[in-house]
Amino acid sequence: MADRLLLIDDDDRLGSLLRAYLADHGFVLERAGTLALGRQALSRGGFDALILDRMLPDGDGMTLCRELRASSSLPIVMLTAMGEETDRIVGLELGADDYLQKPMNPRELVARLRALLRRARASVEAGGVLRFGALEIDRGARAARKNGVRLDLTAHQLALLTALAERPGRVMSREQLLDAIGEDMSLERSVDVHISRIRSLVEDDPKAPSRILTVRGAGYVFSGA
C-alpha cells in the first residue's frame, strides 16, 4: 500500500510537481494550500507523514508543528525559503523531524521521507517497553512517558532516545546515533538540538542531566542506573 502524505503549501506549481514526482516513487500526495485546510485534512487522519511549509497565507507553519507535537508523533518535514540557521534550529526544537530549504531536490525529499517512515515503522516492530525509574520508552506504541505522562517528542527525538536507552553505559558519537536510527549523516549538526529537547523533557534538571550525559569530544551516553 502506498504511503499517504499531506503537503501544506500554497505554491500550486510546487504541489503539482511534487504530486507527480512522489507518485512515481510510490507515494500518494494530498495538498492543502492554507493552515486551515491543512488542519481539516489532518483531522480526517490516515496520513503517514506531513510536509509543511513555513510561511502560509493564514499563518506560520511552525504554529501547526507545535500543535501537532502536543498529541501526535506524525513525521514532519518542514519546508522554508529562509536560509537562516536559526530558522532551522527553531523548527527542530518545535518538533519537526527534518528541515529542507526551497528550492529543494525532490530526490532528496524522497530519501528523507523514506528514512523517516522506515524509522517510525522500525520503532513499532521493535515492540517492548524500556523502563528506567520514572521513565518508560514504549517502542510498540512509539511513545515515551515520565511518571505516566506522555512526553512531547518527535519521531526523530524518540528514535534518538531509544537508540541511547537500548545501549545504556555505551558512549555513542553523533555519527553512531544517526547510523543506529538509519538517518543521513548530513543531519549530524541537528543531533545536539534534539538531545537538548529530549533532556528538557526527560531530565529532572536539564541543566545538570543525570540520564543523558555528554562525553566531551566523544558523544553521549545513557545512564540506566
Closest CA to 129 of 148, 142, 147, 116: 142
* Angle in degrees, 0-180, between the axes of helices 35-44 and 61-69, rounded to the nearest 10: 30
One fold for 3-120 and 127-222 = no
Distance CA 205, CA 102 (A): 38
Rank 10-14, 79-83, 87-91, 183-187 by mean pLDDT and report only the highest. Answer: 10-14
Distance CA 108, CA 106 (A): 5
| Residue 44 CB-density burial (10 A; 0-12 exposed, 13-18 middle, 19+ buried) | exposed
Quick: pLDDT tens for 150-205.
999 988 899 899 989 888 888 889 888 888 887 766 667 788 999 999 999 999 99
DSSP 186: G
Q: Domain ranges in the chain?
A: 3-120, 127-222
Whole-prediction pTM value? 0.61
Distance CA 23, CA 26 (A): 5
Chain position carrying cell 503517514? 48
Q: What is the mean pLDDT of residues 193-219?
A: 92
The hierarchical CATH code for the domain 127-222 is 1.10.10.10
Fold that domain 3-120 belongs to in CATH: Rossmann fold (3.40.50)
Closest CA to 69 of 157, 191, 7, 153: 153
DSSP 188: G
